[in-house]
Structure 1
Amino acid sequence: MEALPLRLKPGDDVREAVEQALRDAGATAGFLLQGIGSLSVAQIRYAGLAQPTELLGELEILTVAGSVAPDGAHLHMMLSDARGRTFGGHVGRGCIVRTTAELLLAVLPAHAFAREHDPLTGYAELAIRRAPG
Structure 2
Amino acid sequence: YHTLIGGDGSVVQVLDPSKRAFGAGNSAFNGRWVVTNAKVGGSINNFALHISLETPLDGENDGPAHSGYTSAQYDALAALLAGWMQRFPIPASHITTHRAVDLGGERADPRSFRWSELQTRMQNLGLLCNR
| TM-score of the aligned structures, taking structure 1 as reference length | 0.29
Could you say which structure has the higher strand fraction? 1
Higher helix fraction (1 or 2): 2
Report 1 or 2 for greater relative contact order, CA contacts < 8 Å, sequence distance ≥ 6.
Answer: 1
